Amino acid sequence: MKRFAIELGYGADLHGADMTKAAARAVRDAMSRVCLAGLVEILGLSGFEGVHVHVEVAVPVPEAVDVPALIPLVPIGTVSVNVVAGGMRTAGLRVERFGPDQSDIVAACAALTVSVTQTV
């Protein structure tokens, strides 16, 4: 496997301290900015064969992330996910209609590494 691209993303849950929601937003943010034209135009991978995307996500409480929920957010290749401690948690504003008793804001950071098994 050779690395082809790395993209970073950021996501937050402003009401509810939902680690999965923040992580998913970080993954979507990274996916929205990575353009993999070279996979198709240079390597000729129209079906994305031989592509692997590794997702590394940092959140304050890694064990609270629903990892299987993150995999479908990456629409190409095979996907692996690793969740680590990081991100940020800070006091937010409690607004009853936005969620239960939790009022903290949580932020997540994601790094997507796109690798290919094919060589040019």
Over the stretch 33-42, which tens digit does the pLDDT of each residue have? 998 888 888 8
Instruction: Determine the Cα–Cα distance for residues 70 and 33; give it in Å rounded to an integer.
Output: 17
- Please give the average pLDDT of every successive group of 10 residues along the chain, which has 120 residues: 95 92 98 89 82 97 98 95 97 75 88 83
pLDDT of residue 118: 60
d(Cα 6, Cα 101) in Å, to the nearest integer? 37
pLDDT for position 120: 47
Pairing state of beta strands 51-59 and 78-85? parallel
Domains defined for the chain, CATH in brackets: 2-116 (3.30.1330.20)
Confidence at residue 40, expressed as pLDDT on a 0 to 100 scale: 82
Contact 51, 63 (CB under 8 A): no
Give the angle subtended at the CA of 12 by the CAs of 9 and 16, to the nearest 5°: 155
pLDDT at 100: 63
Separation CA 73–CA 28 (nearest Å): 7
